[in-house]
Each structure stands twice: as C-alpha cells, then as structure tokens.
Structure 1
Amino acid sequence: MTIEQLHQLFLEFPQVCTDTRKISPNCIFFALKGDNFNGNSYAAEALKNGASYAVVDEGEFAVNAKTLLVKDVLTTLQNLAQFHRNYCKAKVIGLTGSNGKTTTKELITAVLSKKYKTIATKGNLNNHIGVPLTLLSITPNTELAIVEMGANHPKEIEFLCQLAMPDYGYITNFGKAHLEGFGSEEGVIKAKSELYDHLTNHGKSIFFNADDPIQKNKLGSVVEKYGYSQEDNQFFRIKLISADPFVKIAVGDTNILTQLVGRYNFTNCCAAILIGHYFKVDLDKIKEGIENYAPQNNRSQIINKNSHHIILDAYNANPTSMRAALESFHQLKANYKIAFLGDMFELGKTAEKEHQEISDLVTIMNFDQVYLIGENFFKTKGKLNKCKSFDQLKETLKNSTLEHATILIKGSRGMALERILDIL
C-alpha cells in the first residue's frame, strides 16, 4: 500500500491510535514497537475494540483485509504525517528550546486561538512519534498548527523539521539540558539551532528573543526575523514590570497580569505576545489569552496547602532551569522559605559538577531550610540537608513541624517530587 492510498483511508478514518488502551471507534491503529512491547501482537485486539484498520510490519499478524502490512510501522506513521502536513493548508509554527517549550506552546495557543482555528501538540508529545501524531491532528479547517519539537541528540530537530516543514519557528532558549546526548552547551546550541537553520534555508520566518545575545548573533544576517526586546526599539517592545510572585508585563499602555510565577516565564509570555501581534490578534485578545492561562501538570503551579504557599515546578529540571527557579524564588518576599530540590537527569559526565554548583548556589542564597534529594545531590559537599532517596526524605520530615512556609519544589520528572505535597 502506498502512502497516498493510506492517506485516502486516513481521510475516511481521521483518527490515529498507538495504544490499544485508548482505542477510539473507527481509528487506524499503528502497531509500534518499543523496548518492552511489540504492537503487532495487539493488532487483533485493536480491531476487536473498534479500530477500522491496523497497520503492522510482521506478516504473521496480517491476517485479514483490515490489517495493512508495511515494511516499518514507525516510518510509515512518519511518512503519512509528512504527506498529510503537505496536503493540508494550515501554517505550521515550530517550537523548540531547552526550557519552557510546553508552557510557551500553550501560551501561543491561548493567544492565537482567539482569532484562528488552531491545533497544538498535546502535552509534551514532541518526539519522533509525538510530532507525527500532532501533524495528523491537523484538520481541513485548521489555520495554524503549533508543533513542539524536543530533542536529546544532534540532528533530531533537523529530522522533525523535515516532517513538519514549519513556516515559522521560535527557540525558547539554549540551556544545559540533555548534556549527556549533546555533549556540551555548545552542542545544545548547535542542535536546537537546527530549527532556525531549516527556516533560513527554506526562506521562512523566525521569531526570536532580541535580548538573548546567542539568538541575536546567530540571526544577524537573516532577513525574515521578528524579535521582541525590553530596551531595543528596533524590535517589538515588551517590558517586565514585576514577578513577585506573578509575572506582570507591559505592552505599550497595556498591562498584562499573568498566573505564572518566576521571571523565567516572562520570555515565554513574550513569545506568545510577539507571535500574536505578528498574526494581528488584537492586543486586548492577547491580554485575555495570557491572563486566562493557568499552568498545570506540575509546571510552576501555585498551590496553597494547609498553611503553606507552594511553588510546584516538578515537571522537569536541568541546571539552567534550576538556577532560574532558584533566582526567582530568592527574589520573592516571604517570611520563611524552604527549597526541596531533586536530582537533574541526563547530564552525563557533567552531573557531579552541575549538582555541586547548584548546591553551592542555594547555600549562598541562605534560605531557611533546603532539602536536596537524590543520589547526585547526596554526593555534593556542604552542610545542607541531603536525602539519597524520596523515602529517606519522607523519614526525615516525619518528625518535622513545618508551618506557614513559602516552598519551592523543583526536580527532574523521574524524581516525582510532587509526592512531597502528600507529606507536608
């Protein structure tokens, strides 16, 4: 079966599923393989549960006309997504960066959806499987698609750009994320810049932070670029008024009070404001979209529990985002501050150095209490409270009386530090 023929089936049954636990009626099931599963073995179950077709790549599972045999299921999914993206008329905005991708994507969506029919990456489905699924969610009515692209090794963004063929793009920042795969901070910059390289090579438009020297220098000779800045009148002016705790922004005479904490969320908002302005969304609608956006899923969430005021930022962490969160927390006005910091993953040979630097930084900040959790933080030098595991932290806090505290919880997803809420 050719991609063109498969696409005709997809137009008739425009729902794709890769998990038999989430089968929707009349969808097409793609039997993907993983380290611990073989989707081919679930094809019959998918059809039984309501799928119209199942795409498989092992002959023994192609038992009837509703099982479509291909050479490789993943490649077929990607090729179908690429074909569908080119078939549809929607403009695609590509988004990547070390920190803030998902929050920025949601803010951009909140703004653009005030004027346009939009779709966007769900959650953080931003890899070689998630991007195709996002592209396949584009409908004939979609005007703008915001596609988040993640990467943990070189050439991954380049590949995702070949699938999504973005018309526009934005990089949130370049930070110390996934150093194990990129090798160095320079490797991060080179890999994330694959989005800007693609856009430049194809004569497309770039949005950027003109106050970021890396982005400004890299895009010096690029013609189709649109930036925002706090000070430079060459670019769209957006000013930070305050972030104590919520980010407040000025665009001309209009003030925007967000539900986002931390100065690091200012640039995430700026991207949405700039892109909304570029697409001629009225400023009052931009303001409405941003002010109504409330973070969820452990991303800079404000939670009031018992007598505590908690900033829950436990979705992910790397040295750059950890430092930004701590600096923002340090600037907050509060009587009693406690920081719970969990290990940062995927740092490779730099893990010891990066964890020690964070430990040294938080020591200087002199919060009332600090708890470092995880094997990497446990190895650091210093006199802070250190727990090798979450269970050890739980035991440590068993006899503690914590009241009326302002608390920061920050760590990598694998640490699942949101569990701290249950023991406070």
Structure 2
Amino acid sequence: MKPTRIAQLVDVLKKRIPNINACSDAAAHADAVITAISTDSRTVKPADCFFAIEGDNFDGHDFLDRAVEKGARCVITQKRFQSQKAAVLRVDDTIKALGDLARWYRRQLPAKVIAITGSAGKTTTRQIAFGALKECFKCHQSPKSFNNNIGLPLTILAAEPEHEFLIVELGSNAAGEISYLTRIAQPDIALITNIYPAHLAGFGCIENIVREKASISEGLAPEAVLLINGDFEELVAHCRDLGVPYATFGKSPGCDIIGSDFVSRGMSGQISVEGKTIDVPIAGSASLENTLAAWAVCKHAGLSVDDFARAVKTFEAGDMRLEISKVGPLTVIDDCYNANPASMKNAVDCLMQIARVQPGRTVFICGQMAELGKKSRQHHARLGRLIASAGVEVLLAAGPFARTTANAAQEKADADFEFFVFDDTESLCNNLVDIIRRGDIILIKGSRSARLEKATEKLQKLVIL
C-alpha cells in the first residue's frame, strides 16, 4: 500500500478525527503514516492499520490490544476502544469502511484493473493471466480466492503504485454482491468466464445467475472493455439487452476471440488461438477453456500471442485445483477446493482421461456440492448418473446427499460398479485403508464444507501393499 497519513484516512472515510483520548498529542496520530492494511491480528506489522471485523468464528474486536502491541498505528472499530499507542477510528460498519477505503485507493492507482467473475474457473483464469502478464509487466493479483467484500478490498489495498496491472476476482453467493464489488474495483478489463448452476441457494435459478454476473458491467471504468463467454447464449442475450458494449470469446464461430482445436489428454492439453498452438500443462478440459479466457484478457492488456504461449507452457495448477500427484503407488487428483455441477463434470472427465493413458482402477472420493438450494437432490442424482456413464469403477460418497448420488450411479452403472456411502468425511477417511488398492487413480472432489483435504492427508499416510 502507498504510505497514507491517518488524517487522510479519516477524510476518506468521512469520519471525525479518531478517538485518541489517552494520547497527549492528537496531531502526532493524525500525521502518522500507515503502510498496510490488516484484518488478522496474527499478521499485523508495525505501521499497519488494523480493521476489526466481526466474523462467524472470530471477532477482530477481541484482538485490538494484540494488534496495537504488534505495532498497528491505527485501528478501525465498531466498538469502543482506547489506546495511547494508536489512533482509533470508530465507524458503524468496519467491512463497509474497508470497502470505502479500497474504492478510494483504487482511484489513486495508475494500474489497470482486470476483474474476473463467473460460475467457475475464476481462479485458474486469473492465475493463468497473471502468470503471462507478469513476464512483461509489473502485476499484483488476489492472494488465493480473495473475491468477497473483505478479500477484494484487501487485494486492492495491497497493490503498490509501481504495479501496471491489478488482477482480481469477484465472487458472489447472492444477488447484489457483484454490483457492490465492481464499484470498488472499477475494472478496466472485466471478464465473465461462464454461467453454470452454482450457489442456487442464493440465486434460485440460472437467469438470476446471468443477471448477477453481468452486473460486473455496472462498475466499469471509462473506456473499459467487457469480455463475455460467447458460448453461453443467455449471457450474450442479457448483455445485448443491457446495451453495454462487449466483446466475446469462445469456441463459437461468431465470437470475437475464437479458440479451436481443443485437445485434452488428462494431465495436459492444447488449444489454438490466432493460428498459434498453446500447450496447456494442467489437467482437465475446463482448463483449456480457462486458458482461452485468460488469452482474451491478455490480448486486451497488450500481450502478444507468442509471449502468452511461452508463459502458459510453464504454468502450474494451484493447490486443490485438479492438482495431480503420485502418492506412493497411487495417482491422486486433488480437486477438493470447491464443487458445483459443472466443475464435477470436468473433474470426472479428467479422471477418465488419465485412466485412458495409464492403468489403474478409477476411484471417486466424492463430497457434496453445497449451496444448490431446492435443486440439491436433483443435481446430486445427476452427478450419480454422470459417474456411472463415465465408467468410474468405485465411488466413495460422503455427506447429506451421498446416498442420492450413490443410488443414481448404481441404477445406471455396470454390474461390477462398487460404491460406499458414509455419513461424513471422517467416516470415509477411516475406511480408506480397506478400500484403496495399489495403482488406483483417485479423484477427490467436493465443496469446501466437505473438508475433503482430510482424505488427501489420509491417503498420504496409508501403507498400500
């Protein structure tokens, strides 16, 4: 973060001078400079400004003293607090104050902002685009999936004046969230990866998802470009009705940026853009689509296709996102960061593609797809039929819809299909030793609430004879 005086911070948030009752020199606090923003007292550094945020599991107000002890020069709080060592600013809503500060700071940055939203592929698209652009430009990106009303402001506030591109994600679980976030980010390049059934508990139907993702256009900077996936007719039609200028990318002949010759080989693949073959060293057919989306971003950012191809060739997948590794005699596909119907299909396809090029029994350790609302049972039954149609040999399902998935798979599968149903991930893990065999190719996937990384950890400890 660019060094900022506390007096300027107060002015930005349109509040009075902080409550510094116990301090003998108010002006000293007003002129003090902060150099970073933190919401985690464990990582506070000297000269930070600490925002006390009340969450589901922790309340930052409980750690105000710790933040000050570690050197925070200013604390933003919703509750009464006094300190002799730091300026204290009390606001009605610390999360909103964080967003207000980020909105102001974004305007101070010379960097072009690239914002990515969509039902799936946001993080991989961002990572590929960042990996390519950083070879030619000074770039900053979201750490992990910082894509909500806390993570996005923190990402923006961590950018430095020398950065030329800032690449962020905008996520949403309910209507109105993208509209709020895009007004903070004010993107110069905005991209919608795709539209799939995800977070239906908050949206209700696919039409509402289209509207929510397209609302990224509401915060566009002047002369910004909106890039949308032209293979999704509902999205194109909605953006056309909005009257917002846009460009399309996709496989369809009418798209402005076209990808062709998609070839997925399980652990890698390739696509062609503008006559150039792009080698993609990551698993899954969706990764090829994410690469095309990343190219659309990079092209509009001024990167050449040759530079893009060279950078993508060395790209590595992120943690728990179709991350393929050898665990002793096992091949493990760790994709347990999150799950929705589209990403489940992509993961199963990846499992079967790998099985075509190496021997081994196909095993799917499957958790639930969360936040699908009233259609949860329907989508889990579809998943079961997909598993059977793909030819998966063994299913280990855990969670509230495990029986639904297993029953649907059993009805459609061949006679030698095996399945095991568990109440929760812990029970599943405790039975792995009796089910897993040497040479198995194992896919692990489910929503974050399933905590399936425990299964990955358990596999690493198994002794397979």
Match of 2:113 in 1: 92
**1:80 lines up with 2:115 in the alignment:** no
Structure 1 equivalent of residue 280 of structure 2: 258
Pairing partner for 1:400 from 435, 452, 455: 435
Q: What percentage of residue pairs aligned between the two structures are identical?
A: 27
Alignment-derived partner of residue 127 in structure 1: 148
Following superposition of structure 1 onto structure 2, how do residues 348-367 of structure 1 map, counting pairs within 5 Å? 348-367=373-392
8 Å contact from structure 2 (residues 113, 185) kept in 1: yes
Question: Is the 1:70–1:76 contact (alpha carbons within 8 Å) kept by the matching residues of 2?
Answer: no
Task: String of CA shifts for 1:81-135, please: whole Å, max 9, x gaps.
Answer: 1111112222211111111111111111111112221111111111111111111
**Matched-pair contact (CA < 8 Å) for 2:191–2:297:** no
1:213 aligns with 2:233: yes
Structure 1 residues 11 and 358: alpha-carbon distance in aligned structure 2, compared to 1, 3 A threshold: farther
**Is the counterpart of residue 303 in structure 1 residue 325 in structure 2?**
yes
Question: Which TM-score applies when normalising by structure 1?
Answer: 0.92
Paired amino acid for 1:404: G
Distance in 2, Cα, partners of 1:250 & 1:11: 54
Is the CA contact (8 Å cut-off) linking 2:189 and 2:297 kept in structure 1? no
Q: Match of 2:19? A: none
- Contact kept, 8 Å, 1:62 with 1:69, in 2: the verdict is no
The aligned residue for residue 201 of structure 2 is: 180
Q: CA deviation at 1:226?
A: 2.9
1:204 paired to 2:239: no
Equivalent in 88, 101, 110 of residue 122 of structure 2:
101
Kindly provide the CA deviation profile for residues 219-250 of structure 1, in whole angstroms up to 9, marking residues without a partner as x: 44757433333352662232244111112122
Change over 3 Å in CA distance of 1:2–1:25 after alignment to 2: closer
> Per-residue deviation at 1:300?
0.9
- Note if contact 2:322-2:347 (Cα within 8 Å) is conserved in structure 1: no
1:20-419 correspondence to structure 2 within 5 Å: 20-59=41-80, 61-64=81-84, 66-72=86-92, 73-199=94-220, 204-220=224-240, 224-230=245-251, 232=253, 235-245=256-266, 246-332=268-354, 333=356, 334-335=358-359, 336-380=361-405, 381-382=407-408, 383=410, 384-419=419-454
CA deviations 1:365-422 (Å, max 9, x no partner) are 2222122221211344343322222233234333235122222211111212232232
Is the Cα contact below 8 Å between 1:356 and 1:377 reproduced in 2?
no
Q: Structure 1: where are the runs of 5+ without partners?
A: none
Counterpart Cα distance in 2 of 1:249 and 1:301:
20
Task: Write the distance in 1 (CA, Å) between the matches of 2:335 and 2:41.
Answer: 32
TM norm structure 2: 0.84
| Cα gap change, 1:209 to 1:145, in 2 (>3 Å) | same
Q: Give CA deviations for 1:46-83 in whole Å, capped at 9, x if unaligned.
A: 11112222222323x13336232222322221111111
Q: What is the CA–CA distance in structure 2 between the aligned matches of 1:359 and 1:99, rounded to whole Å?
A: 20
CA distance in 2, matches of 1:124, 1:78: 17
Residues of 2 paired with 1:11 and 1:118: CA distance? 28
Partners of 1:339 and 1:371 within 8 A in 2: yes
Answer whether contact 2:397 2:421 (CA < 8 A) is retained.
Answer: yes
Q: 1:9 to 1:247 in 2, by over 3 A?
A: farther
Give, as a single letter, the amino acid of the residue that structure 1 aligns with 2:324: I
Query: What is the CA deviation profile of residues 320-367 of structure 1, one whole-angstrom value per residue up to 9, with x for unaligned ones?
Result: 211232234334414332222111111222211111111122122222
CA distance in 1 between counterparts of 2:30 and 2:278 reads 46
Measured in 1, the distance between the counterparts of 2:174 and 2:252 equals 35
Shift in alpha-carbon separation, 1:188–1:9, aligned structure 2, 3 A: farther
**Gap change, CA 1:241 and 1:193, over 3 Å in 2:** closer
Distance in 1, Cα, partners of 2:182 & 2:332: 38
Aligned partners of 1:155 and 1:191 also within 8 Å: yes
CA distance in 1, matches of 2:30, 2:192: 35
1:230 counterpart letter in structure 2: K
Rounded Cα–Cα distance in structure 2 between residues aligned with 1:396 and 1:10: 61
For 1:79 and 1:253, the matched residues in 2 are separated by 44
Q: Counterpart of 2:272 in structure 1: which amino acid?
A: A
Asked whether the 8 Å contact 1:317–1:410 carries over to 2, the reply is yes
Shift of 1:3: 4.2
Q: Distance in 2 between matches of 1:10 and 1:239?
A: 57
* Post-superposition offset of 1:254: 2.9
CA RMSD of aligned residues (A): 2.5
Residues 66/250 of structure 1: CA separation in 2 closer, same or farther (3 Å cut): same
